[in-house]
Amino acid sequence: MSVNELWVILTGIFVAASCGILGCFLILRKMAMVGDAISHSVLPGIVIAFLISGSRDSLVMTLGAAVFGLVTVFLIQLFKNSGVQTDASIGVVFTALFAVGIVLVSVYTRQIDLDLDCVLYGEIAFVPFDRITLFGMDAGPKAIWGTGITFFITLLVVSLFYKQFKITSFDPAMAASVGIPVALIHYMLMGLVSLTTVSSFESVGAILVLGMLVVPAATAYLLTERLSVMIVYSVAVGIVSTILGYYAAVWLDASIAGCIVTVAGIIFGLTFIFSPSHGMISKWWRKRKILQEDHAKQAQLETA
Amino acid sequence: MSQSPLEINNISVAYQKKPVLRDITFSIPEGKLIGIVGPNGAGKSTLIKAILGLIPRLSGEVKIYGKPYKDQLKKIGYVPQRESVDWDFPTNALDVVTMGRYGHLGWFKRPGKKEKEIAMESLRKVGMQDYANRQISQLSGGQQQRIFLARALAQDATLYFMDEPFVGVDAATEKAIITLLDELKKQGKTVLVVHHDLATVKEYFDWVMLLNETLRAIGPAEEVFTADMLQETYGGRLAVLDKQKESSFVLA
């Protein structure tokens, strides 16, 4: 494995790990689509941050995007509370903001080097070439720092406030009644989702980040009945998808991000069929067994 | 001198533009089991949620043992409606009951051995100790309700709010809840229960609150829970069958 290959895979692993952790909470809160919304509507934030700062400095763009991520969540909540249906409110907010982002990119596309394809689909293959220098020394690719720091922040926040994240996902009313700041935890989670989305955007792109947010978590949901285990499985599925996806892409000479999410989708499909607890086959098997036992009982009754 | 566990002053609540609760004012004595009764849409659950600060109030003041709600969080236990949560959540019964301790743990402390022991003890009190490690989606409706009660017990509160704990439960659970309510009363705790089944009100509760947008009456069951008062609260939609001396009520 070359050093460059290692950088690419490591970036993917950091993205998969952050997305894997946050995705669990998103799907348990039935908010997968909010992840989708954030991943799209950060686009204008990125562009505006870029226009103001005039640089492709990751930190500035991350901030811009994080602000728009929270604006998105805030707007969705606002519309919802004023009587707009939840799905309609999500749909309106993210498509409108995303469209503004596209307009901004297309207007300024001649002056700036911000490629729409890159924003939408990411180009993880270029990760090793955009490097960062610290104190005059080469400190490795920028994306590693961005995704790595995001991962550690996510890990830190979720571990520190694990019990709050858990109870507000399961029973927000009861959580609020014992004084847990439900709204703050909600915005904390959404802030992390925004951060993750932006740092992932160089690697898997704005659209495919949703795949990494939802598919591994949904897979893990089918495999366990404990939240902590679900998070571990979710991260593991994400990492395995990244590694297999990377080599599949090399082998097929195809989009790396595309291959990563495709592999994740295949793993989900296999889990859906074969999971020992929630899989189609085991469910079918259990139903059959119940039926057989019932028949056996009936037969016994008849002979008796 | 004993403070009233709950004093409500002029609470009003509105959803969108329609007022749901108007000028509710009352206070209750300590150590009573209080049934909150009224027709559908009367604002019974809303009243509890407004007291707990889960929904915004238009006006009004809540005092728990003479102090604002925020200062008395640890004295309050809440049992939401069972359907308000997703029972497919990946967790087991013991873990849900342990959540009753979260309010006592502060920001950073994690639930440990002591919390698990309290949770286990609470499960025992509702007769669910054998189901501690059961995934919550595999429990029956009644068992799920008992898990919620156990969680409230684990909160070790002195003032409890229960939102329709008797809805859709089996006979065993109903009995378990009653035993528990009596137990709480013996310990001098105060419990407010949103209740639907008029036939059992007198049997289960010492005090009754009649609610329909406004507070119609509150007081000892024998004084308040009368045919006339009920007729008024339910707006004449009630057919009273007064056979065999004991009243039973049917919604017309």
Mean pLDDT computed over every residue of chain B? 83
Mutate to test the interface with A, among B48, B82, B102, B136 (most CBs of A within 10 A): B102
The predicted pLDDT at position B245 comes to 42
A137 vs B42 pLDDT, higher one: B42
Quick one: closest CA in A to B78, which residue? A174
**pLDDT reading at A155 higher than 80:** yes
Query: Which residues of B fall within a CB distance of 8 Å from A180?
Result: 102-103
- Over residues B207-236, the mean pLDDT reads 80
How far is Cα A221 from Cα B70, in angstroms, rounded to an integer? 36
Give the pLDDT band (50/70/90) at residue A119.
low
**pLDDT reading at B221 higher than 80:** no
Query: Which residues of B fall within a CB distance of 8 Å from A174?
Result: 78, 80, 99, 151
Record the tokens describing residue A21, joined without a space.
């952790």
The predicted pLDDT at position A247 comes to 93
Percent of chain B with pLDDT over 90: 16
Record the tokens describing residue A300, joined without a space.
């016994």
A window 15-44, beta carbon within 8 A of B: 28, 30
Quick one: closest CA in B to A225, which residue? B90
**pLDDT reading at B63 higher than 70:** yes
pLDDT in tens, A285-297: 888 888 888 888 8
pLDDT in tens, A59-116: 777 778 778 888 888 898 888 878 788 888 888 998 999 899 888 888 876 665 556 5
The predicted pLDDT at position A31 comes to 84
**pLDDT reading at B244 higher than 50:** no
Lowest mean pLDDT among A129-133, B85-89, B212-216: A129-133
How far is Cα A26 from Cα A278, in angstroms, rounded to an integer? 20
By Cβ distance, the residue of B73, B85, B91 closest to A226 is B91
The predicted pLDDT at position A153 comes to 94
User: A277, A199, A203: which is closest to A241 by C-alpha?
Assistant: A203
The complex's ipTM? 0.85
Any idea of the CA torsion for B185, B186, B188, B192, to the nearest 10 degrees? Answer: 0
The predicted pLDDT at position A25 comes to 95
Q: Does B70 contact A at CB distance below 8 Å?
A: yes
How far is Cα B103 from Cα B114, in angstroms, rounded to an integer? 14
The predicted pLDDT at position B246 comes to 46
* Domains in chain A, CATH or no CATH each: 3-213 (1.10.3470.10)
Angstrom CA distances, A185 to A63, A164, A169, A182, stand at 19, 7, 10, 5
**pLDDT reading at B60 higher than 90:** no
pLDDT in tens, A31-48: 888 877 887 888 888 788
How far is Cα A255 from Cα A123, in angstroms, rounded to an integer? 8
- Cβ A199 vs Cβ A173: under 8 Å: no
Query: DSSP 3-state assignment of B238?
Result: strand
pLDDT in tens, A173-195: 999 988 899 989 988 898 888 88
How far is Cα B35 from Cα B23, in angstroms, rounded to an integer? 19
**pLDDT reading at A198 higher than 90:** no
The predicted pLDDT at position A117 comes to 61
Which 8-state DSSP code applies to residue B71? G
Query: Which residues of B fall within a CB distance of 8 Å from A28?
Result: 86, 89-90
How many residues does this entry show for chain B? 252
How far is Cα A279 from Cα B238, in angstroms, rounded to an integer? 50
The predicted pLDDT at position B236 comes to 67
- Cβ A212 vs Cβ A261: under 8 Å: yes
How far is Cα A201 from Cα A118, in angstroms, rounded to an integer? 8
By Cβ distance, the residue of B90, B137, B161 closest to A226 is B90
By Cβ distance, the residue of B76, B105, B110 closest to A177 is B76
Residue in this structure with the two tokens 């969705």, named with its chain if needed: A76
Fold of B6-251: Rossmann fold (3.40.50)
CB atoms closer than 10 angstroms to residue A272: 15
| Domains in chain B: boundaries | 6-251
Give the pLDDT band (50/70/90) at residue A242.
very high
Check CB contact under 8 Å for B92 and A226.
yes
By Cβ distance, the residue of A160, A169, A173 closest to B54 is A173
The predicted pLDDT at position A228 comes to 93
Q: Does B16 contact A at CB distance below 8 Å?
A: yes
By Cβ distance, the residue of A28, A174, A179 closest to B80 is A174
Record the tokens describing residue A77, joined without a space.
């909540």
Check CB contact under 8 Å for B99 and A174.
yes
